[in-house]
Structure 1
Amino acid sequence: MAKVYRVNEAFDHGLLSGASCAFGVFDGVHRGHRFLIDEAKKTAAECGGPSAVLTFDIDPDERFHADRLKKLMTNERRIEALAQTGVDFVAVLPFTPAFAAQAPLDFLATTFGESFPAALHVGCDFHFGAKAAGQVDDLRAWADERGVRIFAHDLKSAFDKPITATRIRLLLAEGRCEDAVELLGHPYAFEGVVAQGRGEGSDMGFCTANIELAPMMRALGEGVYAAWATVSGVRYKAAMSMGTAPTFAEATATSEVHILDFEGSIYGETIAVEPVHYLRPMVEFDSVESLIAEVQANIAWVRENL
């Protein structure tokens, strides 16, 4: 795994000198992102410098549009995934209000100081600086004066459309897990801390791990899914719901996960859940008996098909 550096007062900007860098947010670290990062690794090999990813400690939209943002990864998981792409290091810029308010040229001066990379790889829609005023042409003008090569890549496509984090979020919102995974190039998963639930599941014969997700981490559409759940490093089949259960008026958990063939208390533990197939919408049942029958059918599907 690559070394991760926080770009603070102690950061040695000299690390960036002569490096070949991929620069972006990279939410989801999807196939398009990996193409851009692989291109940075290629030019690093050609010029003999290190390969690097430049990113931010938070998604900039968390600062400006947190009320409508749906993220594919937590910031911690995103940075960890970037460190696993085979680059030499990851440099993480703090996206503070002061940093975000800088004019484009000041933004670049703060980012690089007097240590200029050999190459910068960005998407063709790359913007930077206050109000995203800086564009690729501005970046090229800055780079030409400093001997930096700029590679502005067209977005990679799949099924005749560009691969973007927004497109993947829309697929997940529709419950289309398989299509989202095709664009991601890796499983989609979310993590959460197991909280004390209402207890109805236990009374009905199927215990659930109850997770309350922050609104911005709810990219997956409401419904019931076949899934995998990872507990303490062990992967189990699971049937899970996303969204509050309409049958129970006091429901609060964002996601309820029934883990097949698992016993034990995991309250307070963090588990990872990987939804892989949409089973049905969330519906309000006329009776507890009909709910139990449907949940048992969902569990049976998971057991037989995963």
Structure 2
Amino acid sequence: MAIVISKADPAYDEAFLAGASVAFGVFDGVHEGHRFIIGEAANTAREEGSRSAVITFDIDPDEIFAPDRLKKLMSNEARIVKLAELDVDAVVVLPFSREFAAQSPEAFLDACFGGGVPSHIHIGSDFHFGRRAAGNVESLRAWGAERGMTVHGHELLAEGGVPVTATRIRGLLGEGKVREADDLLGRPYALSGTVRPGRGEGADFGFATANLEVEPLMLAIGEGVYAAYALVEGVRYKAAVNVGVPATFADASTANIEVHILDFARDIYGQPIEVEFVEWLRPMRAFDSTDELIATVMGNIAWVRENL
């Protein structure tokens, strides 16, 4: 497990990155493409006998610049934990702000590294930074050449002839194409939340649900019913999951994730659970009768039981 160091910590030593091989990026999702670039930085460090590190921000810059459009694949905390699980020595977290981003590309880099310039930096070919995102691979190379830093601008890893990007994964999730998104992530797409009281109809109908209210920023997956796994206190259970407010109960619901955990009857109100999405089953729709709703949901639960 890599150590996590925040540049906001008064004890942060700028010299820590001097001579290191680093990968720099936001890395939302820590997907296959990100892991390729980070792996290249680790390989360079091994070849040179130097320290390896991931440099990232404490938030996704789009949380400031495009909050209405952003659908995050992971929380910032989960992203940093996942980065620290990779084969690097350290994760260095830089505080991000509108003022920080407004600096010229050169001043931006000076602020990132100060007196601790790495020997190698690995980035994606689409890397941009500084005021109006004016900095790019070439301007980074010019800055690095004056300071003895080699810049490795990597073409983005491609799957099916298309680059693996967080935007591509968000698009797949938004369309309910969970298996394709999971392949690019290299693991199941997951959401976490705290269980809260719901409407109560599910229990009356024979399929009690754990209800989560997830903020829109974290809801990259499209509406629908999914086969999934629910992780409760470290134990994995099969689950049928409804994403979105059910049309039948739209006037009475605020929860936007409803999780029916198979063969589970404990009271977990107030507890955190994680949901791993596996397969899209059907779209959201209104039902003409309660009997039709119950039959459909029971059919979804049966599919999960038999196929997961």
Question: What TM-score, normalized by structure 2, do the two folds share?
Answer: 0.98
Paired position in structure 1 for 2:3: 3
Paired position in structure 1 for 2:234: 233
Residue of structure 1 aligned with 2:287, choices 280, 285, 294: 285
SS at match of 2:11: coil
Counterpart Cα distance in 2 of 1:195 and 1:258: 13
Counterpart Cα distance in 1 of 2:44 and 2:277: 37
* Structure 2 segments unaligned to the other structure (5+ residues): none
Counterpart Cα distance in 1 of 2:97 and 2:226: 38
SS at match of 1:77: helix
Counterpart Cα distance in 2 of 1:64 and 1:124: 21
Paired position in structure 2 for 1:159: 160
Paired position in structure 1 for 2:268: 266
SS at match of 1:197: coil
* Residue type of the alignment partner of 2:297: V
SS at match of 2:268: coil
Residue of structure 1 aligned with 2:302, choices 278, 281, 300: 300
Counterpart Cα distance in 1 of 2:16 and 2:2: 14
Counterpart Cα distance in 2 of 1:115 and 1:274: 40
- Greater displacement, 92-101 / 193-202: 92-101
1:139 equivalenced with 2:140 (yes/no): yes
Counterpart Cα distance in 2 of 1:11 and 1:100: 21
Q: 1:131 offset after TM fit, Å?
A: 1.5
Q: Please list the CA deviations of residues 14-69 of structure 1 after superposition, one character each: whole Å capped at 9, or x if unmatched.
A: 11011100000001101100000000001101121110000000000001101110
Q: Would you say how many aligned residue pairs link Structure 1 and Structure 2?
A: 306
Q: Please list the CA deviations of residues 236-287 of structure 1 after superposition, one character each: whole Å capped at 9, or x if unmatched.
A: 0000011001001212111100000111111111100011001000000011
* Residue type of the alignment partner of 1:190: L
Counterpart Cα distance in 2 of 1:67 and 1:269: 29
Q: 1:182 offset after TM fit, Å?
A: 1.0
SS at match of 1:264: coil
Paired position in structure 2 for 1:105: 106
**Structure 1 residue runs of 4 or more that deviate by more than 4 Å after TM superposition:** none
Counterpart Cα distance in 2 of 1:229 and 1:198: 20
Q: 1:10 offset after TM fit, Å?
A: 2.5
Question: What TM-score, normalized by structure 1, do the two folds share?
Answer: 0.99
Q: Please list the CA deviations of residues 156-199 of structure 1 after superposition, one character each: whole Å capped at 9, or x if unmatched.
A: 00001000000000000010110001111111111011111011
* Structure 1 segments unaligned to the other structure (5+ residues): none
1:66 equivalenced with 2:80 (yes/no): no
Matches within 5 A, 1:83-94: 83-94=84-95
Paired position in structure 1 for 2:248: 247
Counterpart Cα distance in 1 of 2:278 and 2:262: 15
* Residue type of the alignment partner of 1:44: A
- CA-based RMSD of the aligned residues comes to 0.7
Q: Please list the CA deviations of residues 124-166 of structure 1 after superposition, one character each: whole Å capped at 9, or x if unmatched.
A: 1100112211111110000000000100000000001000000
Counterpart Cα distance in 1 of 2:64 and 2:263: 42
Q: 1:70 offset after TM fit, Å?
A: 0.5
Q: 1:98 offset after TM fit, Å?
A: 2.0
* Residue type of the alignment partner of 2:51: P
- Greater displacement, 4-13 / 296-305: 4-13
Counterpart Cα distance in 2 of 1:47 and 1:17: 13
Counterpart Cα distance in 2 of 1:10 and 1:112: 15
* Residue type of the alignment partner of 1:161: V
Counterpart Cα distance in 2 of 1:155 and 1:274: 26
SS at match of 1:210: strand
SS at match of 1:279: strand
The percentage of counterpart residues that share the same residue type is 59
Counterpart Cα distance in 1 of 2:235 and 2:116: 45
* Residue type of the alignment partner of 2:307: N
